[in-house]
Structure 1
Amino acid sequence: MAGLIQRAGLKVVVGLGKTGLSCVRYLKQMGYTVAVNDTRENPPNLAELRTEYPDVVVSLGHLDAELLLSAQEIVCSPGISINEPALAAARQHGIQVIGDIELFCRATTTPIVAITGSNAKSTVTTLVGLMAEAAGIVVGVGGNLGTPVLELLAQPADLYVLELSSFQLETTFSLQAAAATILNISEDHMDRYANMQEYHAAKQRIYRNCHYYVTNRQDLLTVPLLPEHIPNTSFGLNPPDLHQYGVIKEQGVSYLAKGAQKLMPTQEMGIFGEHNVANALAALALGEAVNIPMTAMLTTLRHFTGLPHRCQLVTKQQQVAWYNDSKGTNVGATLAAINGLGASISGQVILIAGGVGKGQDFRPLSPALVQYSKAVVLIGEDAQKIDAALSPQLVKYYASTLVDAVQQAHQLACAGDAVLLSPACASFDMFKHYEDRGHQFVAAVNALYSL
């Protein structure tokens, strides 16, 4: 039994969040000697670790250079940059720094659909997983979404669908995806990467050794530098060529289409907005690549109503709609939400935005806001930076709290308008995480109407 074998070499797990603890459990089950290093003095899951594995050495409060240099291999959580000096020194000494996705890929030969992108990863990953379920395929869904990927190995599966971040891809070497995609690329994590080229290179790693790939033909940065003989297709919001996915318009009706074949009217989808049409087309292309029947995929698109905190309708009161898009943590995501919502309502958008800007350029938001917005209510650490970057044509307000922002938006909104929380920023200046921000928004909106 693998769990009874004592394997040579020390594995040092860096970071004791949910992912880190899953790595410790997996490595101990596989018979490895494991140590843990975390920069925090009291990381989450510490008590759980010490109860389950009292023999595991734990070093806290800093990256322990001595411990890292004693490792045979380092398993790094995605929240920690591999360019930290102690990790860079270990790499220079020939010690490989990997992540949980790498451990997973080494452990399974089951086909993997691998999905990355600056935005929409979670929605497309969830859609492909639900499409597989609808077809009766035993599927495991995880990665950067929900379940730590190593926990998926506990149950048998015929297919895995993984959401992968650029951070996870940096430490992954053995992925051979049955189908891989970059959905889109826009500026993000500029507090972690030196420039867009570095971020782009991390995303492109998803295509290494893949068997099939899907690109966004309206975003050239998603196109891989791969040999042309690898099978592939594309999706886009324009009319598709043969074997491609896209949109056909006839007599004022828009259809999801493959080549010249109309698949279903977009208005029959359970999710709204052009960005979600693109997400549906990407999911269809990936699903087809791993032989999910079209009938099951289209049925899923009719019934799927979206994920929490992603352009989620909170309520519609007095002909004003309130949308929670707290997962909009970068400019590209917020831009997609503004365009998708703005084009679908009779009134205007009142945007609540702000937080930790991660070094982004907020200027690309201006054209859509000028076209669709009534006002922007700014919150958080980088409110002034966003204000300075946006067009002076826009009406802007400041709010000290999210409750204050909701109340100001309520005063500004008229029948037909929509209030959109899509911060274009990380949440950790004012909230525990984006889910906490979303929940607080929902609570503040409900309090307005005593719901």
Structure 2
Amino acid sequence: MAETYTHTHLQDAPATTQWSWNIVVLGSGESGVGAALLGKQRGYHVFVSDGGKIKDHYKQELIDNGIEFEEGRHTEERILMADEIVKSPGIPEKNEMVKKIRAKEIPIISEIELAYRFKGESKIVAVTGSNGKSTTTSLIYYICQKAGLDCALVGNIGYSFAKQVAENPKPLYVAEISSFQLDDIKDFKADVAVLLNITEDHLDRYDYSFQKYIDSKFKIVQNQHEQDNFIYNLDDEVITNKLKTILLTSNLLPFTMKQEPKKGAYIKGDQMMLKVNEERVSMNIYDFAQTGKHNQYNTMAAGVAAMTMDIRKEKIREAVETFESLEHRMEPVAVVRGVEFINDSKATNINSTWFALESMTKPVILILGGTDKGNDYSILESLVKEKVKTIVCMGVDNTKIHAAFDKIVPIVDTASAHDAVQASFDAAEKGDVVLLSPACASFDLFKNYEDRGKQFKEAVKAL
């Protein structure tokens, strides 16, 4: 029997004029501090608890706003007195404190749920997917800016949604939403929901169950009404198979390269067609600022989202033709003695690297490696054979990369960004591309993918 996804009534939020409602915020990163600020502003009694060290600038914000906090521990008695817990997305369910909260049946919500509770009449465009979220969210935001809409870019990219609602509310929020953020929503509803793709990622957080991860991504549509829009990738079999098992009330707007749907978006030849309601827009794909098939998918999704907001086609066209790539996502760094360097440090899973390689038109020296999340490197095999001259490993343990590619291409082991860049430059010839697209998380050698990308760029500029 098919599940039915319908809107659930937003329960009356606690009174905002009394200090009677106790919330505990677990985690003090961007989303945790944002949730604390919004909770305090709306009259909740807020306590922030972080098992690690709170960064100095976040600590100062809490102090400036008179918000109680602790770091380096979780005081169990205090936390378990809460009426509600706001859990930062980085904290997994297997965390001991989370287990105790669940056992006591204290409601746990995410920061985006708290932000939704107080966003008023504002609209939300929410983007999720395993790959392309940041690019697509940023492109939608860029189109909205070009069209003169008063909006904010929030969520998993940049600014905390809750903090934006607290400090500078807008009539429109364009939000990048991860599966971790969706896990703890109750009433959160996107007016426009975008689902780009679903590939195996973060399975360590979902008991190594791909189905649990799929279900988490689909929470983006669970509260939608008939007047809401769901934009999705019709070429993604995981998505289309899941859609056969659920009943949606929202307006379905697919995008595809393989069919010609009556509404949504498709590419035929060199033309991208957008069709929403009676409006139609046609664009030449060779005019897109973003190249590669993966970016054509992202552009279709963003274009359809823009059309649901009645943005004029001239503005959509102008934005698509002038949008620049994000830092750490297929970011051109430099050309040194005829060798091009590209920073795709944000590629933290196999599929991101597959898309990056698929878009390459020159011979590639590929920098791979980091903290493996259960990668199946065989997915890259045909593209490595076709496009890669040398693999440079940049990680503590490169065993799986060697096992996958030793018989296909030469492999060099390095243990720093500087050494990886030097080894790549040594292996490259004029006309080649050195592509940092690691397919792994960065935590073995770096603070995060941004740190990895910055160190890569610094090493390139030092050549």
Q: TM-score, normalised by structure 2?
A: 0.89
Which residue in the other structure is 1:68 paired with?
A: 79
Which residue in the other structure is 1:17 paired with?
A: 29
Q: Describe the SS at the equivalent of 2:218.
A: helix
Distance 2:232 2:174 in 1: 17
Distance 2:363 2:142 in 1: 33
Q: 1:264 aligns with which of 283, 289, 302?
A: 283
Distance 1:357 1:45 in 2: 31
Amino acid at match of 1:141: L
Distance 1:4 1:255 in 2: 52
Which residue in the other structure is 1:219 paired with?
A: 236
Change (3 A) 1:166 1:229: closer
Amino acid at match of 1:371: E
Alignment of 1:270-349 (within 5 A): 270-341=289-360, 345=361, 347-349=362-364
Q: Describe the SS at the equivalent of 1:187.
A: coil
Amino acid at match of 2:250: I
Alpha-carbon deviation of 1:131? Answer: 0.8
Change (3 A) 1:50 1:273: closer
Change (3 A) 1:336 1:67: same
Which residue in the other structure is 1:188 paired with?
A: 201
- Does the aligned pair in 1 maintain the 2:126–2:177 contact within 8 Å? yes
Q: 2:223 aligns with which of 191, 195, 209?
A: 209
- CA deviations on 1:218-256 (whole Å, 9 max, x unpaired) are 11223445435531111123353322312111xxxx222
- Does the aligned pair in 2 maintain the 1:17–1:44 contact within 8 Å? no
- Does the aligned pair in 2 maintain the 1:182–1:215 contact within 8 Å? yes
Gaps of 5+ in 1: none
Q: Describe the SS at the equivalent of 1:112.
A: strand
Q: 2:116 aligns with which of 105, 109, 119?
A: 105
Distance 1:447 1:181 in 2: 40
Q: 1:241 aligns with which of 235, 258, 261?
A: 261
Distance 1:86 1:262 in 2: 51
- CA deviations on 1:98-143 (whole Å, 9 max, x unpaired) are 1110011111231111100111101110111111111121111110
Distance 2:115 2:54 in 1: 27
Q: Does 1:6 find its partner at 2:25? A: no
- Does the aligned pair in 2 maintain the 1:240–1:258 contact within 8 Å? no
Q: 1:436 aligns with which of 437, 446, 451?
A: 451
Which residue in the other structure is 1:406 paired with?
A: 421
Change (3 A) 1:50 1:291: closer
- Does the aligned pair in 2 maintain the 1:379–1:405 contact within 8 Å? yes
Q: 1:386 aligns with which of 398, 401, 404?
A: 401
Q: 1:198 aligns with which of 209, 212, 229?
A: 212
- Does the aligned pair in 1 maintain the 2:273–2:283 contact within 8 Å? yes
Change (3 A) 1:53 1:156: closer
Q: Does 1:39 find its partner at 2:55? A: no
Which residue in the other structure is 2:11 paired with?
A: none
- Does the aligned pair in 2 maintain the 1:310–1:324 contact within 8 Å? yes
Distance 2:94 2:126 in 1: 24
Q: How many residues align?
A: 438
Q: Describe the SS at the equivalent of 1:350.
A: strand
Distance 1:364 1:396 in 2: 18
Distance 1:82 1:8 in 2: 27
Distance 1:92 1:305 in 2: 47
Change (3 A) 1:89 1:156: closer
CA RMSD of aligned residues (A): 2.2
- CA deviations on 1:347-384 (whole Å, 9 max, x unpaired) are 31111011111233232122211121111111113322
- CA deviations on 1:179-204 (whole Å, 9 max, x unpaired) are 11221111211232212112111111
Change (3 A) 1:231 1:46: closer
- CA deviations on 1:264-316 (whole Å, 9 max, x unpaired) are 21111111111111110110112222322222111100000211110011122
Distance 1:262 1:246 in 2: 11
Alpha-carbon deviation of 1:41? Answer: 4.6
Alpha-carbon deviation of 1:422? Answer: 0.6
Gaps of 5+ in 2: 1-13
- Does the aligned pair in 2 maintain the 1:214–1:282 contact within 8 Å? yes
Q: 1:427 aligns with which of 416, 421, 442?
A: 442
**Which stretch of the first structure deviates more once superposed, 96-105 or 7-16?**
7-16
Q: Describe the SS at the equivalent of 2:334.
A: strand
